[in-house]
Amino acid sequence: MNYSHRFFLYGPVGLFAILMLGVIGYWFVLSGAVSHKLDAINGHEIAPGIKIGFTHKTMSGFPFRIDTQLEGLRVELPGAHGPVVWTAEHFAFHSLTYGRTQYIFEAAGQQMITWHRESGGLRTYRFLPGLLRASAIASGGELSRFDLELMDAASPDVAAAQMQFHLRKNPKIDGLDLYVSADDVHIAPDLDPAFGPDIKSFKLDAMLSPGTSFDGVLAGHTDWRAAMESWRTRHGGMLVNSIAVNWGKLDIAGKGALTADELHRPMGTLRLRIDDWQPLVQQAQQRGWLKGGHDGLAASFLALAGNMQGSGPLTATLGFKDGVMSVGSVPADLLSPLY
């Protein structure tokens, strides 16, 4: 065999070997960088006010993915009245070693969220998900889209068959598109749900503008409360394109616009159309539940609906002004600051 024949025989094999060595080296460099960064931030802030910690880390995914599994994850962020803490028994995130910057997140095992009431008391919510996953897409070092899905959440407090949360930068205007939905939600009776323990469905389609107020948060450089204040002072608002709720015996649909006042309390109105409200009012009248205003959302709704006549849908305005939530002209409850 002459040398030219040997070249065509061994050349492709050698080239493939060089490429494989390059892929191996590239993966170990990327994997090592991710591992070192995680070790550096463990127990420290990853963004203003947001702290992350974990007890154990495992790296895998060779050759085309970076798969990271964390045990005992703890994420702490500032809330309106104190820190909000999420802990996950098992957590993993995945990314490709090529293409656009995109991450897939998964959580399993026991999940716990704690937060503080306005009075300072601590609240705790524990649940076990059948599936809890999310994805994030970054562009230019800034989050451009985030999607979260929770299925079969088992909890003695609030259980749900499915919940979804979607947030993206609107490609056409200065806004953030927001979509939230939930199906087959069951609320424990001792939590005093307004219209019964079962919410068959909930859907919210809205947009926050100006979206550039949140650029610092999406890039991980700004505290979310500072971003909210920037949004408020720039005459920011949330346009509620549609909201639809099937809660107990009620079918509720509406739209409106909300913002925040100088004391950071919700302000604005939602115009609602409510179907199948008559059986609930009749039951309330028979059982003596009509108490008037200032006693919660359900009581104020019943006080308003109890004076209505007819069999058609009920139209009502859910208002937020000066720290008070009202159903029509009937005050329902006091409002706490959002931040």
Helix locations, 235-292, DSSP H: 278-287
Q: In the predicted model, is pLDDT for residue 186 greater than 90?
A: yes
- Do residue 63 and residue 153 come from a single domain? yes
Task: Name the DSSP class of 26.
Answer: H
**86, β-bridge pairs:** 75, 113
Same-domain pairing of 187 and 323: no
Domain boundary among 211, 232, 260: 260
User: What is the mean pLDDT of the segment spanning 286-290?
Assistant: 64
d(CA 300, CA 288): 14
Final residue before a domain boundary, out of 237, 260, 283: 260
| In a shared domain, residues 81 and 122 | yes
Tell which phi-psi region holds residue 45, choosing left (phi > 0), alpha (psi between -120 and 50) or beta: beta
* Nearest residue to 163 (alpha-carbon basis) of 120, 237, 111, 239: 111
Q: What is the pLDDT of residue 263?
A: 96
Give the pLDDT confidence of 26-51 residue by residue, as tens digits. 567 888 899 999 999 999 999 999 99
Beta carbons of 227 and 217 less than 8 angstroms apart = yes
For the stretch 57-74, pLDDT in tens is 999 988 888 999 999 999
The mean pLDDT of the chain is 90
Structural domain for 68, as ranges = 3-260
Task: Judge whether residue 303 has pLDDT over 90.
Answer: no
Same domain, 215 and 332: no
Token code pair at residue 232: 């408020």
Q: Does residue 6 have a pLDDT over 80?
A: no
Q: What percent of the chain has pLDDT over 90?
A: 69
pTM for the whole structure:
0.87
Cα three-residue angle 10-15-18, rounded to 5 degrees: 125
Distance (Å, whole) CA 73 – CA 46: 14
Using 50, 70 and 90 to split pLDDT, how confident is the model at 120? confident
Shared domain for 161 and 235, answered yes or no, is yes
298/254 same-domain check: no
Task: Dig out the tokens for 193 from the structure.
Answer: 């749900």
For the chain, what is the domain count?
2
Whether residue 294 has pLDDT greater than 70: no
Is residue 73 a contact partner of residue 56, using CB atoms and an 8 Å limit?
Answer: no
Mark whether 249 and 107 lie in a shared domain: yes
Q: Which of 239, 260, 281 is the last residue of a domain?
A: 260
DSSP E strands: which ranges in the chain?
Answer: 44-47, 50-53, 56-60, 65-78, 83-96, 102-116, 122-127, 131-139, 142-153, 158-169, 176-187, 198-209, 237-247, 250-260, 266-275, 314-321, 324-327, 330-334
207's torsion region: left (phi>0), alpha (psi -120 to 50) or beta?
beta
Same-domain check for residues 143 and 282: no
pLDDT digits (tens, 9 = 90+) for 105-117: 999 999 999 999 8
Burial of residue 185 (CB within 10 Å: 0-12, 13-18, 19+) is: buried
